[in-house]
Structure 1
Amino acid sequence: MTGVRAWAVWRELRPALVGYVLFVEAAAVALSIAATVRLTPDRRDWLVFGALVACALIYTEMSRPIEREWRTLTENPHLDVHAMWIFTGVLTLPPGLVAIAIVICHVYPWLRVDRHGLYREVFATAAVVVAAFAAKLLLTMSGYEQFPATRDIRTFGVVIAAAVLFLALRVALTTIAVPGGSGDHAHEAASVGLGVLTAWALTAWPPAVLLIVGVTLVLHRSVLIRQLRETARSDGKTGLLKPDAWHLAASSVLDREVHASLLMIDVDHFKQINDKHGHLVGDTVLRRVAETLKAEVRSGDLVGRFGGDEFVVFLADTTGGDAMVMAERIRRSIVRTVSQSIVDISVSIGVAACDGGRLLDDLLHAADVALYKAKGGGRNQTAMSTA
């Protein structure tokens, strides 16, 4: 029993959500067993099943190196191509084989790429099974028999409706239970669309599947590489630029600007927040401050995390007076937004401005001096210095 109590699901989910997760998993198991018991596949079903599973496994192996690198850097969701193979199965296979294909498409990558988060993977698999069976039911009730029949508009519309149902139900089921698990729905929708094309190719001219697999693999890798680059530049806790990335970007902009300003923001008494409320609350405060900063600045401004509880904002083409106005607005917004939702906090802000010909380090030094002036004056205020 001690081992069961130590499972991550009990720590990460509220009791009501644990019950929800178990219910979805039980429904998936019941549906899979019922479909498998009734399974009477013919030779064509086995050939399609074998081809589909083979493509999924080969695809996993070919994308494994970059997938593993991604998962070692972040837990954020990304492009998930399982849906491509699974929805192909929904359109071309009987329900029992669909359930088996789903399990293989989820278990094999988990074993080969990353074995963390077992309960999440089990639940994700169960949610996909339920969504796939719902889509299969819609197809059956609409008179759909096999994919080649979709050459008429009505039946093709049924296929699209089933795809929308599959995607919407899978997203709804997982989003309820897994915080932050929304993922990139546009990419997943594209993956389901590729499943439609793959099913068409598999039944009309199977060699075309190889072309689809190759193109999808290239697109998948390009998306992951872009996400890896963004992750390397971003602070994992707040999503803001890391100090080095921020410094490089701000220096590049400063070289081209006549007027520029810089804000240095510090959360007042942040150590006391950690000591009194715990580090989880402290991390939440940092995330909310970061969200408020991004919401208050302009699209071209550069926001970064500078240290433990310090943030920096580079304001291009901004005079000192305008920067002070923006700093005061940010200070009031942070106090109002974060204090209402978490704990009472305040921030001190140092503002620095220059008229060109200065290095970024000069601006940083001036902003640091202004920040200490604000903190020395009683905190929860804004002070200014000129570089």
Structure 2
Amino acid sequence: MRLDWASNRKRTVYFWGVVLAIPVLILIWIFRPEEGFIHWLYPLFILLCVSWAWRLFHKAKLESIEREVVATTAAFFTIKLGYYFFWGDLTKNWVEIESTYWVMAFLMILLYIIFDARRGLIYSLALFVMTLALGLFRLGSEIALGQHREEFLAFVRSEMRLFAMTGLLYTLAIIKDQLADAHRQVLQMHALARTDPLTGLPNRLALSEVLEEASQHMFGLYVVLLDIDHFKQINDRYGHDVGDQVLKEVGRRLRSSLRKGDMLGRWGGEEFMIVMRGESQHDVLAAVERLREDIAFWPFDQVGAVSASFGVAEGHIGDSIHNLLERADKALYQAKHLGRNRVELSPA
């Protein structure tokens, strides 16, 4: 869910960025038609921006659009830089050259947003080398003759800015990746601490946290404790490995039959817990009865028929988690006392 949210946010930023770029490009094309580069290539770039906006709006694959935008924008502004370096008066063109350098700087930022640090560095250095080669090819011979010194100094400043940004962005990207890795490790440790290693279900700690949060609204809250019948005999007769397989299969069947919004976990040993909400006892008991049938109906590998007993307790306003669990435990004991493989509701 978190990844989907981040992807949607990135898509929204890209969409509005492209949409806002379209009128700017159109205005430049309208007011400066005399320049060949703008006159012939800006309409093509405008059409590409419209295409990207359309595809972003219709949920096209984000990664392919990102790569297209980067590649096309890099090619477009490299051509623009070459055009203003070699076509016309260099002094008059320098404003456009300087603005193109700033676009290249923003493009480097986009590279590190889209790609990892290593690829961002490679592509940024490639941009830097291309712009450096264009500038040196245009100004190298003339500066030796004492011409275009101011432009050459401005060119050196722009190249140094790009090179410095490459190093700075790479450093920030490395730090970002390290922080992201540390955050993932923390999340993994948090999840492992709250997951039963055998069944993959939430463990007692996770269930306790859910109960603590759910206790803020006791009305309509139900706690179900279930215990596998004669589980000790399964372990004694078939061995603990088979017993573990039974536990995993019980967990799998329960999980596949849960209603949306219910939470299942392993409370300990052969005991499971389900935290449920319901508008009526009838609906909740019917759902729990289906869970009981899902366990008892199909035989288990190696051991045959397995059943479970269920104790259900309903929360009331002013109730405590301790009292709720105690009533569920008593209801479970009653289900076992009455013959097992049944569902019992605790009295209020």
**TM-score if structure 1 supplies the norm length?**
0.46
Partner of residue 380, structure 1: 341
**Correspondence for 2:171 among 210, 216, 235:** 210
**Correspondence for 2:261 among 300, 316, 334:** 300
Query: How far did 1:264 drift?
Result: 0.8
State the percentage of identical aligned residues: 31
Residues 116 and 173 of structure 2 are in contact (CA less than 8 Å); yes or no, is this contact kept in structure 1? Answer: no
Cα distance in 1, alignment partners of residues 344 and 245 from structure 2? 26
| Cα distance, 1:354–1:206 mapped onto 2, change above 3 Å | closer
Q: 1:41-60, aligned counterparts within 5 Å?
A: none
Partner of residue 131, structure 2: none
Indicate the structure whose relative CO is greater, using CA pairs within 8 Å and at least 6 residues apart: 1
Residues 289 and 338 of structure 1 are in contact (CA less than 8 Å); yes or no, is this contact kept in structure 2? Answer: no
Cα distance in 1, alignment partners of residues 328 and 320 from structure 2? 13
Residues 278 and 284 of structure 2 are in contact (CA less than 8 Å); yes or no, is this contact kept in structure 1? Answer: no
Q: Point out where structure 1 has 5 or more consecutive residues left out of the alignment.
A: 1-147, 153-189
Cα distance in 2, alignment partners of residues 225 and 263 from structure 1? 31
State which drifts further: 301-310 or 201-210. 201-210
Partner of residue 199, structure 2: 238
Residues 261 and 319 of structure 1 are in contact (CA less than 8 Å); yes or no, is this contact kept in structure 2? Answer: no
**Correspondence for 1:200 among 116, 123, 128:** 123
Partner of residue 319, structure 1: 280
Query: How far did 1:343 drift?
Result: 4.5
1:332 aligns with 2:293: yes
SS at match of 2:306: coil
| Cα distance, 1:337–1:251 mapped onto 2, change above 3 Å | farther
In structure 2, give the amino acid aligned to 1:304. G
| Cα distance, 1:212–1:354 mapped onto 2, change above 3 Å | closer
Cα distance in 2, alignment partners of residues 307 and 192 from structure 1? 45
Residues 259 and 356 of structure 1 are in contact (CA less than 8 Å); yes or no, is this contact kept in structure 2? Answer: no
| Cα distance, 1:257–1:368 mapped onto 2, change above 3 Å | closer
| Cα distance, 1:345–1:196 mapped onto 2, change above 3 Å | farther
SS at match of 1:288: helix
Cα distance in 1, alignment partners of residues 214 and 334 from structure 2? 27
Cα distance in 2, alignment partners of residues 283 and 201 from structure 1? 54
Cα distance in 1, alignment partners of residues 116 and 174 from structure 2? 13
**CA distances 1:216-239 after superposition (whole Å, capped 9, x unpaired):** 111111111112112222222223
Cα distance in 1, alignment partners of residues 299 and 120 from structure 2? 47
**Correspondence for 2:181 among 220, 241, 254:** 220
**CA distances 1:132-153 after superposition (whole Å, capped 9, x unpaired):** xxxxxxxxxxxxxxxx9xx78x
Query: How far did 1:202 drift?
Result: 6.3
SS at match of 1:358: coil
SS at match of 1:253: helix
In structure 2, give the amino acid aligned to 1:372. Y
Partner of residue 309, structure 2: 348
| Cα distance, 1:232–1:192 mapped onto 2, change above 3 Å | farther
Cα distance in 2, alignment partners of residues 210 and 342 from structure 1? 59
**CA distances 1:70-127 after superposition (whole Å, capped 9, x unpaired):** xxxxxxxxxxxxxxxxxxxxxxxxxxxxxxxxxxxxxxxxxxxxxxxxxxxxxxxxxx
Partner of residue 365, structure 1: 326
Cα distance in 1, alignment partners of residues 118 and 240 from structure 2? 44
SS at match of 1:350: strand
Query: How far did 1:206 drift?
Result: 6.2
Cα distance in 1, alignment partners of residues 122 and 281 from structure 2? 61
Cα distance in 1, alignment partners of residues 305 and 289 from structure 2? 18
| Cα distance, 1:329–1:215 mapped onto 2, change above 3 Å | same
SS at match of 1:367: helix
**TM-score if structure 2 supplies the norm length?**
0.51
Cα distance in 2, alignment partners of residues 386 and 194 from structure 1? 62
SS at match of 2:275: strand
Partner of residue 73, structure 1: none
Cα distance in 2, alignment partners of residues 339 and 192 from structure 1? 49
**CA distances 1:151-194 after superposition (whole Å, capped 9, x unpaired):** 78xxxxxxxxxxxxxxxxxxxxxxxxxxxxxxxxxxxxx99966
Partner of residue 275, structure 1: 236
Query: How far did 1:265 drift?
Result: 0.7
Partner of residue 249, structure 1: 210
Q: 1:286-297, aligned counterparts within 5 Å?
A: 286-297=247-258
SS at match of 2:181: helix
Residues 374 and 381 of structure 1 are in contact (CA less than 8 Å); yes or no, is this contact kept in structure 2? Answer: yes
Partner of residue 14, structure 1: none
Query: How far did 1:199 drift?
Result: 4.3
| Cα distance, 1:346–1:225 mapped onto 2, change above 3 Å | same
SS at match of 1:258: coil
